[in-house]
A and B are shown apart, each in its own frame.
Chain A
Amino acid sequence: MKITFPHMGNTYLPVKAMFDDLGVEVVLPPKNSKKTLEIGTKYSPELICLPMKINLGNYIQSIEKGADTILVTGSCGPCRYGYFAEVEKEILKDLGYDVEFVILEAPDGDLKEFYNRVSRVANTKNMIKIGKSLKNGIQVLRKLDKFEASVLKLRPYEKNKGEIDTLYKELIKNLEKSTGSSQMIKYIHQAQEAIKDIDLQKDRDVLKVGIVGEIYTIIEDFANIDIGKKLNELGAEVHKSHTTSGWVLEHLFYNSIGSTREKQVRKAAKPYMKTMVGGHGRETIGNTILYTKEGYDGVIQIMPFTCMPEIVAMSILPKLQQEYGIPILTLIIDEMTGEAGYVTRLEAYIDLLRNRREKYKNEKMLSWR
């Protein structure tokens, strides 16, 4: 059995660490590229969202490399994500590929089936061993997410441009060639120490931008044309409202722990959206409000074309923009999105935020109150 799984940001590294710990062979799909998207777009339904098109591209590229089992997480609607695997099965069948899907979910609450599936891909029935590797994998994931967050926060302040990027790239390279979680954690710790030593110019006038929207397009930098780095270069620190570790913790342990941020987000969203609408539509609303209250200069919503929950959120955002007085930009991504047009919009948006800040400063200075 040769397992593969789709790309989503840096998640492939912790997943690889976990399988390394278990001693299971995995086939990593080639990094997301134009080719991945081209393959995915060619065979996917026209109006399906971008994440599935990229996923399908990942699978086909992995199958060509020898993978025969596809591992994905599950969900039960109402967002389309829960039915991706079923459509993909049909497509791969029509293309003549013989692969098996293992979907990590408990169908109709059947926990036994869930454990069956887990032990099949883990190649062991030893739940303690599985639990331990899972725990280690999650640890790598959390630390890596934390590191990425600090990159997005610190990059606009660095004195010598490019230092953080070099460090980040070095880390990813090291993680890619390491086996097992302990080795990865060592490298992440090293990088965490190294980032503290980078010269920063803290008095720079840097804007703060929060990213909300659909989780895949937020996390996967190929899909969002590396929005974090682009905004950093335009002089804004960036916070992404979703991380893979957040998602994993929420879905695997939400009932037992119940993260406080999650509750805050729901509470904030309530006056505008009283129930969930699938995907992360409610979180988009809630996070926008929280960012506003935390003094961010702007919020960018990012989503794939035809994403249902985000369209609901998008219809409500103008109201928030009005009531909270924060500029919100919506970016819709599909396979036709061109980089130049996208950058132009980001530049214009950042200009707007900067002008607002200047204006606000002057107002404060000239005000008699």
Chain B
Amino acid sequence: MKIGIPRGLLYYYYYPLWTKFFETLEAEVVVSEKTNKQIIDYGVKNTVDEACLPVKVYHGHVIALKDKVDYIFVPKIMSIYKNEYICPKFCGLPEMIKSAVKDLPPIIDTTIDFHKSKKNLPKTVHEIGKIITTDKKKIDFAFREAIKQHESYKAKIKDGILPVDIEGNKVFKYINPYKYRQKIVLLGHPYNIYDKYLSMNIIEKLRKYGLEVLTQDSFDRNIINKKAATMDKKMFWSFGRKVLGAAFHAMEREDIQGIIYLSSFGCGLDSVIADIAERRTRRSSEKPFILLTLDEHTGEAGIDTRIEAFVDMIKWRGKNENNFSTYGEYISTR
């Protein structure tokens, strides 16, 4: 049995878990190829104009898979943490796919909803697994194996390796943090920052300038949660909590030189999160902040120019600013 997993949206967080789960159940997992122009075009053609870029791209991945597999795994992810949501578009994803894409194989659209508690986790897992086997013990075993895989993936990322440096189970690029003198934080949804094509390879671009790139996933979870909790109202989007927590943390860290927020056009969450992050950064820190917005127009020069200008500023600050920071204060006779 062939199960297709589209390489989009939460893929970058959960693919080790999902692939290991299905593979342990002796299904063949087919992941769609990396995002490319054709996949984006498929997606753009088959979604409403108003959908955001990552959702369009996800549609493209589903289309790329649909004739190659027996099932496609498009879970209906409502909530993955207590009292939190992801984004309304995730809640309606299987329905959007089903109405937009014709001649689909059966979709595994199990609802994943831990808004109230994780109590339903075993039930949810059984519901997904029963497509392959009726043996509940086998499913439980497969899930335990999958969790192990997931934990080791998370551990790698804690070690400073980003999802873009991992291919399947292999880490193909070890980053030596000592090589880099300056650090910047790249914020944004995982499906924007870790998709090399969508992000126009921003992580590599920044590394080439000799900067170490941190993301919201590089920080300790407890620190992020504590920082995010300083908002008056609980941030009810899981990504929002991570990104805001990381932004607030980065503002206070002296070894971080700047913050880049990578967003996609029309993202409802980012219109809120990026705005708060930017206002707070400008109000209470000296760190440069830049918001870069992606859409399906793949002109790379515009992004390159802005990254270059941002990096120039950081380098300039590092070299010059410290030396004459008190200049204005003391030379003036007024």
Across the interface, do A90 and B280 meet the contact criterion of CB distance under 8 Å?
A: yes
B261-300 interface mask toward A, CB cutoff 8 Å, 1 = contact, 0 = none? 0000111111110111001100100000000000000000
Q: Is A83 an interface residue (CB 8 A)?
A: yes
Q: Which of B48, B50, B51, B276 has the most CB of A within 10 A?
A: B50
Residues of B within 8 A of A313 (CB): 92
Across the interface, do A47 and B279 meet the contact criterion of CB distance under 8 Å?
A: no
Residues of A within 8 A of B86 (CB): 78
Beta-carbon nearest neighbor of B85 in chain A: A78
Q: Which of B76, B99, B268 has the most CB of A within 10 A?
A: B268
- Chain A residues 226-278 with CB under 8 Å of chain B are 272-278
Q: How many residues from A make CB contacts under 8 Å with B?
A: 46
- Chain B residues 5-55 with CB under 8 Å of chain A are 47-48, 50-51
Across the interface, do A87 and B275 meet the contact criterion of CB distance under 8 Å?
A: yes
In the bound assembly, the distance between CA atoms of A14 and B223 in angstroms comes to 46
Across the interface, do A278 and B267 meet the contact criterion of CB distance under 8 Å?
A: no
Across the interface, do B276 and A86 meet the contact criterion of CB distance under 8 Å?
A: yes
Interface segment out of the listed B117-125, B137-145, B232-240: B232-240
Q: Is A290 an interface residue (CB 8 A)?
A: no
Across the interface, do A277 and B267 meet the contact criterion of CB distance under 8 Å?
A: no
Q: Which of A76, A91, A311 has the most CB of B within 10 A?
A: A311
Beta-carbon nearest neighbor of B78 in chain A: A275
Across the interface, do A94 and B283 meet the contact criterion of CB distance under 8 Å?
A: yes
Q: Is A316 an interface residue (CB 8 A)?
A: yes
Q: Is A15 an interface residue (CB 8 A)?
A: no
Residues of A within 8 A of B113 (CB): 275
Q: Is B307 an interface residue (CB 8 A)?
A: no
Q: Which of B51, B237, B270, B271 has the most CB of A within 10 A?
A: B271
- Chain A residues 141-189 with CB under 8 Å of chain B are none
In the bound assembly, the distance between CA atoms of A87 and B231 in angstroms comes to 11
Known A-B contacts A48-B272, A86-B276; the reply to A318 vs B99 at CB < 8 A is yes
CB of A197 to closest CB in B, whole Å: 45
Residues of A within 8 A of B266 (CB): 47, 306
Beta-carbon nearest neighbor of B92 in chain A: A312
CB of B212 to closest CB in A, whole Å: 29
Question: Within the complex, which residue of B111, B267, B269, B283 is in contact with A274, where a contact is CB–CB below 8 Å?
Answer: B111
- Chain A residues 66-95 with CB under 8 Å of chain B are 76-80, 82-83, 85-87, 89-91, 93-94
B78-107 interface mask toward A, CB cutoff 8 Å, 1 = contact, 0 = none? 100001111111011001100110000000
Residues of A within 8 A of B274 (CB): 45
Beta-carbon nearest neighbor of A75 in chain B: B236
Q: Is A130 an interface residue (CB 8 A)?
A: no
Across the interface, do A94 and B279 meet the contact criterion of CB distance under 8 Å?
A: yes
Across the interface, do A108 and B234 meet the contact criterion of CB distance under 8 Å?
A: yes
Q: Is A28 an interface residue (CB 8 A)?
A: no
Across the interface, do B233 and A47 meet the contact criterion of CB distance under 8 Å?
A: no
Known A-B contacts A312-B89, A314-B50; the reply to A80 vs B234 at CB < 8 A is no
Across the interface, do B272 and A308 meet the contact criterion of CB distance under 8 Å?
A: no
Across the interface, do A312 and B111 meet the contact criterion of CB distance under 8 Å?
A: no
Across the interface, do A307 and B276 meet the contact criterion of CB distance under 8 Å?
A: no
Beta-carbon nearest neighbor of A94 in chain B: B279
Across the interface, do B88 and A277 meet the contact criterion of CB distance under 8 Å?
A: yes
The interface residues of chain B, by DSSP majority, are classed as: mixed
Q: Is A49 an interface residue (CB 8 A)?
A: yes
Residues of B within 8 A of A275 (CB): 76, 78, 91, 111, 113
Q: How many residues from B make CB contacts under 8 Å with A?
A: 42
In the bound assembly, the distance between CA atoms of A90 and B276 in angstroms comes to 7
In the bound assembly, the distance between CA atoms of A338 and B111 in angstroms comes to 41
In the bound assembly, the distance between CA atoms of A78 and B84 in angstroms comes to 8
Question: Within the complex, which residue of A82, A85, A279, A312 is in contact with B236, where a contact is CB–CB below 8 Å?
Answer: A82
Residues of A within 8 A of B91 (CB): 78, 275-278, 312
Residues of A within 8 A of B271 (CB): 45-49, 80, 306
Q: Is A315 an interface residue (CB 8 A)?
A: yes
B171-184 interface mask toward A, CB cutoff 8 Å, 1 = contact, 0 = none? 00000000000000
CB of B292 to closest CB in A, whole Å: 14
In the bound assembly, the distance between CA atoms of A85 and B232 in angstroms comes to 10
Question: Within the complex, which residue of B87, B99, B269, B283 is in contact with A316, where a contact is CB–CB below 8 Å?
Answer: B99
Across the interface, do B270 and A273 meet the contact criterion of CB distance under 8 Å?
A: no
Across the interface, do A45 and B283 meet the contact criterion of CB distance under 8 Å?
A: no
In the bound assembly, the distance between CA atoms of A107 and B83 in angstroms comes to 11
CB of A213 to closest CB in B, whole Å: 13
In the bound assembly, the distance between CA atoms of A312 and B253 in angstroms comes to 39
CB of B90 to closest CB in A, whole Å: 8
Residues of A within 8 A of B95 (CB): 272-274, 312, 315-316
CB of B261 to closest CB in A, whole Å: 12
Residues of B within 8 A of A79 (CB): 88
Q: Is A51 an interface residue (CB 8 A)?
A: no
In the bound assembly, the distance between CA atoms of A307 and B231 in angstroms comes to 24
Residues of A within 8 A of B50 (CB): 305-306, 311, 314, 332
Residues of B within 8 A of A137 (CB): none
Q: Is A281 an interface residue (CB 8 A)?
A: yes
CB of A273 to closest CB in B, whole Å: 5
Across the interface, do B280 and A312 meet the contact criterion of CB distance under 8 Å?
A: no
Across the interface, do A77 and B85 meet the contact criterion of CB distance under 8 Å?
A: yes
Residues of A within 8 A of B276 (CB): 86-87, 90
In the bound assembly, the distance between CA atoms of A309 and B88 in angstroms comes to 6
Beta-carbon nearest neighbor of B235 in chain A: A83
Q: Is A319 an interface residue (CB 8 A)?
A: yes
5 other A-B residue contacts (CB within 8 Å) besides A82-B233, A94-B283: A87-B275, A87-B276, A90-B279, A275-B111, A314-B48
25 sampled A-B residue pairs with Cβ under 8 A: A47-B271, A49-B271, A77-B85, A86-B233, A90-B279, A90-B280, A94-B279, A103-B233, A107-B233, A108-B83, A274-B95, A274-B111, A278-B88, A281-B88, A281-B92, A306-B50, A307-B268, A308-B87, A309-B92, A311-B89, A312-B89, A314-B48, A315-B100, A316-B92, A332-B50
- 7 nearest CB pairs, A to B: A312-B92, A78-B85, A77-B236, A278-B88, A45-B275, A308-B88, A47-B271
